[in-house]
Amino acid sequence: LSQAVFESIRAERIPFVLLMDKSKGTQYAGAKKELMTFLEQHILSGVQEVNKAYMVTLLVRHFFDSIVEIAKAYQDDDWALTNITILMQYHMSGMKSLY
């Protein structure tokens, strides 16, 4: 998963940052929210307890914001892949506790 996210960002980093962080007032302004909602629904489909829904929303928001920040601060391929991998490990470990 880390490699897939990294490859996507590496291939289209500037358009990704523009879409996720700088699209206010454009026809693409809702793209980030749509992706976050899709991921939230995917995660919630496996979560048994309804009272965890708000936490899932916060975690998804944090995940997306972190990916965008890594893309914005991109130094080189090794740096980006390392940071994306750490973020993925962190989030996947935390997500396990929701299931």
The two counts, helices (H) then strands (E), for the chain are 4, 0
Global pTM exceeds 0.85:
no
Per-residue pLDDT tens listing for the chain (99 residues): 889 999 999 999 999 999 999 999 999 999 999 999 998 898 888 877 767 788 888 889 999 999 999 999 999 999 999 999 999 999 888 777 766
CB count in 10 Å sphere of residue 24: 7
What is the residue type of 87? L
